[in-house]
Structure 1
Amino acid sequence: MTRLSQYRIMWVMVFFDLPVDTPEMRHIYTDFRKKLQKDGFRMFQFSIYVRHCSSAENAEVHIERVKRWLPEKGQVGIMKITDKQFGMIQLFQGVKRGKLPSGSQQLMLF
């Protein structure tokens, strides 16, 4: 029996930037996205899809499948990372950076 490990479990990330200038190009883009979704990929960001895989061997199966779907135009990147690395991703959503308040009031506790 294989022991589950954060270093054995893998994530496959697919990054893509496909042209959508014509109706035919939009159809190719939509078809590519639908194939990713049908294969178990979930949207991480607009053009980044991720899939959890139980092992590096399983990840390779899905990577080879994505390679068969590559459109003629545009750019597609595929990255395989461990579950441990995926867990270290820092995500920020809607965070506005503003000025820190000047000075702070010190409280006395008895």
Structure 2
Amino acid sequence: MFNRLNAYRIMWVLVFFDLPTETKKDKKLHAKFRKDIMADGFNMFQFSIYMRHCASRENADVHIKRVKSFLPAKGHVGIMSITDKQFGMMEIFRGKELTEAPAIAQQLELF
């Protein structure tokens, strides 16, 4: 039987961005983009890297499409999706100390 929630089906979507903040308008657009992706369930991993846990590739595609709808006119934005298995192989350090990967937020999905 096919296991619906396995490490190769579950996805992580990462959004990397470098947006201008020189003017008041730039700062406002930067803050809006950040707030929009956070409202869509993304959490900060590092200052300009946000991530979201998705139950499937199809679910990840929905959130990727939503991030694309938030894109500002200026700046650089990258979107990457990886499997839960790949995410689990990441090594994370605070200084020289190896730390645990971020906890997965339990998300309820209503269909």
Scaled by the length of structure 2, the TM-score of the pair is: 0.83
Q: Identity, % of aligned pairs?
A: 61
Structure 2 residue aligned with 1:18: 19
Give how far 1:2 is off: 5.3
Structure 1 residue aligned with 2:29: 28
**Map of 1:1-110 to 2, 5 A cutoff?**
3-95=4-96
Give how far 1:3 is off: 2.3
What count of residue pairs does the alignment treat as equivalent? 96
In 1: Cα distance, 2:5 partner to 2:70 partner? 30
- Structure 1: which amino acid aligns with 2:9? R
In 1: Cα distance, 2:21 partner to 2:46 partner? 18
Structure 1 residue aligned with 2:103: none
CA RMSD of aligned residues (A): 1.4
In 2: Cα distance, 1:36 partner to 1:69 partner? 8
- Equivalent position SS for 2:94: coil
Give how far 1:92 is off: 1.0
In 2: Cα distance, 1:2 partner to 1:94 partner? 38
Give how far 1:25 is off: 0.2
Scaled by the length of structure 1, the TM-score of the pair is: 0.84
5+ unaligned residues in a row in structure 1: which ranges?
A: 97-110
In 1: Cα distance, 2:89 partner to 2:63 partner? 23
Give the structure with higher Rg (CA): 1
